[in-house]
A and B are shown apart, each in its own frame.
Chain A
Amino acid sequence: MTAAIEFRDVSRVYGEVRAVDRVSLTVEAGEFFAMLGPSGSGKTTCLRLIAGFETPDSGSVLLNGRDVTDDPPYVRDVNTVFQDYALFPHMSVLENVAYGPRVRGQRKEDWQRRALEMLELVQLGHFAERRPSQLSGGQRQRVSLARALINQPRVLLLDEPLGALDLKLREEMQIELKNLQRRLGITFVFVTHDQGEALSMADRVAVFNHGRIEQLDTPRALYTRPATAFVARFVGSANVVAGELAQRLSGRAEPFAVRAENIRLRAPAAPVNGDTMSCIGDVADVQYHGAMSRWQVRLESGEVFAAAVPDTNSNDEFRVGARVRLEWARGDAVPLTAAESS
């Protein structure tokens, strides 16, 4: 089956900076695909390459098997929800949503009807005559969603759409978007720097760093089996162990990652359990996070480990400054391919 989107060795360079560095990926039809990474990692540029606002310097972009590398945005079967919503201020909400059909020459009765339908879909039917400036952030976001979907595109691109919303609204919208995508069955490509968002919504996530994809996998695989130190640190927070310490603990020179929640705290003198790795350090800081606490432990060799420990009474014996032993199962140590951090 042809992929909805395909990148073949795509690069986009600005002077000295390689914003997108020979990226290849495929997005399957009907997928909820997330592009995750810090700012400047290339994820937004990739989105713009799909939409057609940028042209690659090398490589090709294919939509549904067709090479669209040279196609302008208005011929691609792709629509975008912009980060700043990009609603046209001199048009009403209805006219905004109806922009696509109007531009294609549809009759007034037709585009009015369809635009109203779309507004109903996002529960904003009563706002048709308002101006964008009269709407709240969340409402504007839904209008821009309606405007993008009215053309029934094969692919919907979303550029950090939830960034401007407050926490509660953001969580609601995440659920709404996921439901919408399931109902419509079209491909969603979602750009975000929030790893929690990417993990909770996407079928597959591409983690970007410095213009390259470090790992493309399902959320669970990214979390439990990070491939590189960057992914380990960026997705969830893991301790990356490298160099001498890695050699000492695992017997091999390659770096590995251990999730903070896989680390247990023990008294230094307690007996060592079976197939585990352990090391000794002093408690540097404790942060209370409700159901679990975050402990920072500094080893003699200088590295600082983060342990996320469920909050039980047995932890009261450890205070800041106390000596403690960190322990984790050997299987929880995930080997990494690169130890360089971002």
Chain B
Amino acid sequence: MTALSTFLYRRPALYVTLLLIPPLLWFGTVYLGSLFALLAQSIYSIDEFTAKVVYEPTLATYKQVITQAANVDIILRTLSMAVAVTIACAAIALPIANYMVRYAAPRTRALFYVGVMLPMWMSYLVKVYAWRLILAKQGILSWLFDTLGLGAALEALLRVPGIGGPSLSASYLGMFIVFVYMWLPFMILPLAAALEKVPESLLQASADLGARPAQTFRTVTLPLALPGLAAGSVFTFSLTLGDYIIPSVVGAPGYFIGMMVYAQQGTAGNIPLAAAFSVVPIVLIMIYLTLAKRAGAFDAL
């Protein structure tokens, strides 16, 4: 055993290689292999008559995704939801994170951290389902609106196209609320980490020079917290872009990218189309990542 140890000790490269062979083998075949299969499928197409996959490389499927009006609708709809959710998460996360870091006593801050992480540890599906219950026609939210006498206002809101739907639990508004809820911890934590990095002395200097708390927040805290916001936004953006469970469970009739992918591979069996569609979020996320990197997101992660 010692001889083997010494043999490997003198050859660090061999040692590392041996360690990495099993995991890389797995990753290579299962993960990378699948990704290649995906890309391969996306350049095939489906014969409209036989509904069978035509194994000839073509860009027709991609063209279908980018040019057909219905598909473009889907992409834009998903994109705008992702952006809206990101903005909302940022807006809600800021006061929470700022309070946590600046004002809370150490024990309270620890409580807040655990309080933010706790929902993250809860089952994803259970949380979605819980919102379905809350948003249901006779559920808590309806009850709340009715008791407050705002029942009519809610009905009116649901009739607005692009926001509403048949009921709160089947509307864009409902979906939006659920998305924001789900990804909120992912925005709060990097933001809090970035805010913690802002030294108290900077805020004191700003006050010393005459700025009111709101001004200090706008001119000192916010710009310095931008990397944290950017990092959190990467999560909210990409998670919303690819999700299909939430639109299915709490969604209005309009399709989202994820739903499209799921639907196409199901009964339609149109794997090439599903594959091509799934490349869209990858591209969008890549673009977003480069933008976020410039805003310093990777330093905050």
Closest to A71 in B: B6
On chain A, the residues within 8 Å of B2 by CB distance are 74
Contacts of A75 in B (CB 8 A): 6
In Å, the complex CA distance between A72 and B10 comes to: 8
Interface membership of A110, Cβ < 8 A? no
Shortest Cβ gap from A135 to chain B (Å):
29
B15 contacts A by Cβ under 8 Å: no
CB closest residue in chain A, given B10: A70
- Bound CA–CA A70/B9 (angstroms): 10
Among A70, A72, A75, chain B packs the most CB atoms within 10 A around the CB of A72
CA distance A72 to B11 in the complex (A): 11
Within 8 A of B (CB), among A61-85: 70, 72, 74-75
- Determine the interface band of chain A, counting residues with CB < 8 A from chain B: under 10
Q: Looking across the interface, which residue of chain A has its beta carbon closest to that of B2?
A: A74
Chain B, range 1-21, C-beta contacts under 8 Å to A = 2, 5-6, 9-10
Chain A residues 30-50 with CB under 8 Å of chain B are: none
Interface string of A74-99 (1 = CB under 8 A from B): 11000000000000000000000000
Bound CA span A74–B5, Å: 10
Q: Which residue of B lies closest to A52 (CB)?
A: B9
B residues in contact with A72, CB < 8 Å: 5-6, 9-10
Give the residue name and chain of the B residue nearest to A75 (CB): B6
A75 to chain B, nearest CB (A): 7
A-chain residues with CB within 8 Å of residue B6 when the two chains form the complex: 72, 75
Q: Hey, which chain A residues are within 8 Å of B10, CB to CB? A: 70, 72
Secondary structure of the B contact surface, majority rule = helix
Residues of B within 8 Å of A74, CB to CB, are 2
Interface residue count on the B side (C-beta < 8 Å): 5
A48 to chain B, nearest CB (A): 15
Query: Complex formed: what's the CA distance from A75 to B9 in Å?
Result: 12
Query: In whole angstroms, how far apart are the Cα atoms of A70 and B2 in the complex?
Result: 15
Kindly provide the distance from the CB of A242 to the nearest chain B CB, expressed in whole angstroms. Answer: 44
Inter-chain CA distance A42–B210, complex, in Å, is 51
Residue of A nearest to B9 (CB): A72
Question: A68 → chain B, closest Cβ, in Å?
Answer: 13
Min CB distance B12 to A, Å, is 10
Residue of A nearest to B6 (CB): A72
**CA of A302 to CA of B10 in the docked complex: distance in angstroms?**
56
Distance in angstroms from A170 CB to nearest chain B CB is 35
Expressed in whole angstroms, the Cα–Cα distance for A219 and B191 within the complex equals 57
**Cα distance A72–B2 in the bound complex, in angstroms:** 11
Least CB distance from B134 to A in Å reads 48
Bound-state Cα–Cα, A74 to B6, Å: 9
* In the complex, residue of chain B having the shortest beta-carbon distance to the beta carbon of A73: B9
Q: Which of A207-264 contact B (CB under 8 A)?
A: none
CB neighbours of A70 from chain B (8 A): 10
Closest Cβ neighbor of A72 among chain B residues? B9
Residue numbers in A under 8 Å from B9 (CB-CB): 72
B7 to chain A, nearest CB (A): 10
Chain A residues closer than 8 Å to B5, beta-carbon distance? 72
Give bound CA distance, A251 to B157, whole Å: 99
* Cα distance, A163 to B253, chains bound together (Å): 71
Kindly identify, within residues 107 to 131 of chain A, every residue whose CB is under 8 Å from any CB belonging to chain B: none
Query: Would you give the shortest CB distance from B259 to chain A, in whole angstroms?
Result: 51
CB distance from A215 to the nearest CB of B (A): 35
Give complex CA distance A70, B10 in Å: 7
What is the CA–CA distance of A74 and B10 in the complex, to the nearest angstrom? 13
A317 CA to B275 CA, complexed, in Å: 94
CA distance A335 to B268 in the complex (A): 93
B4 → chain A closest CB, angstroms: 12
Give chain B nearest CB distance to A255 CB in angstroms: 46
Q: How far is the CB of A142 from chain B (nearest CB, A)?
A: 30
With A and B bound together, what is the CA distance between A176 and B10 in angstroms? 38
Least CB distance from A120 to B in Å reads 31
- State A226–B10 Cα separation when bound (angstroms): 41
Cα distance A72–B7 in the bound complex, in angstroms: 10
Bound CA span A75–B10, Å:
13
Return A84 CB to nearest CB of chain B, in Å: 23
Q: Kindly report which residue of chain B lies nearest to residue A70, judged by CB atoms.
A: B10
Name the distance in Å between B11's Cβ and chain A's nearest Cβ: 11
- Counting chain A CB atoms within 10 Å of each CB, the highest count among B5, B9, B10 belongs to B9
Taking the closest CB of chain A, its distance from the CB of B5, in whole angstroms, is 8
Cα distance A72–B8 in the bound complex, in angstroms: 10
Mark contacts of B223-237 with chain A using CB atoms, 8 A cut-off: 1 yes-contact digit, 0 otherwise.
000000000000000
Binding site for A on B (CB under 8 A): 2, 5-6, 9-10
Closest 7 CB pairs of A and B: A72-B9, A72-B6, A70-B10, A72-B10, A75-B6, A72-B5, A74-B2
Q: Can you name 7 A-B residue pairings with CB atoms under 8 Å? A: A70-B10, A72-B5, A72-B6, A72-B9, A72-B10, A74-B2, A75-B6
